[in-house]
Amino acid sequence: MKLYSRTLVTWSLHVESNLMTRLAIIFSLLFATTAWADANPDINSETVALMEWLFLALAVGSALLAGFLKVRSSPYLLSALPLFTLTLHQAEEYVLAPALFGPSYHFLNWAFEVGLYVSASSVVWVNSVGIASTLIIFAFRPASKVFAIVFLFVSATLVANAAFHLGVATLQSNYNPGMVTSLLLYIPLHLKGVSLVIERAQSFRVAVALTIYGFIAHFVAILLVNIL
């Protein structure tokens, strides 16, 4: 009996040790900055570290906000969806992907490896504009026609980003950081925006036009950030 108990304790300690080791690896991938030949030069900067914490906090905060609005059966839950999808997408690109698949799947490093240098400052500016645009939606009544138009325009800017992620994933036949949320969140969000505009504006042409304008706005914003 003593031998059995001792064996059980030893096995438990072994399992606990393995679990703690795996958790340590996950946290080190989340917040450590490993340098290697193909890493983005900015990856070890304080800006990147702060950005990762901020994106993670925003994702958690927006999820809590959406959950609170759902429990309250608030019509503003619809208003919170673009913010939630954007912040979760940011978390996937800069926190979740490198935590699960390694530092090479941090968006900055992944882009650098495929030949695109993306500076940390440009990421901050582009995503700040994106977050601001999702917050503007809260200024309109969710049942109004104007809300539907703004909602679709903002979702179109996000689906433009999804087109990039999914297009590259198709060409490479491989995962890239941001691909999952692009497919599972951005596209359904945009389809919801299209349905709202068709329902309230009674025009499919308006929905198409807003989608095109959103695509253009997304890439113009990126161009301006890189120029300025």
Looking at the structure of the chain, the number of domains it has is 1
Residue 13, in any domain of the structure: no
Residue 41, in any domain of the structure: yes
Residue 10, in any domain of the structure: no
Residue 1, in any domain of the structure: no
Most distant CA pair in the chain, distance: 78
What is the model's pTM?
0.81
Q: Per mean pLDDT, which range of 116-120, 150-154, 167-171, 187-191 is the poorest? A: 116-120
- 33 pLDDT above the threshold of 60: no
Helices marked H in the chain: 2-31, 46-71, 77-91, 97-101, 107-113, 120-136, 145-172, 179-181, 187-201, 204-227
CA 37 to chain centre: 26
pLDDT tens digits, residue range 72-120? 999 999 999 999 999 999 999 999 999 999 999 999 999 999 888 888 8
Which has the higher per-residue pLDDT, 184 or 39? 184
Residue 206, in any domain of the structure: yes
Range of the domain at 55: 33-227
The mean predicted confidence, pLDDT, of the chain is: 85
Look at residue 228 in the predicted model and tell me its pLDDT.
66
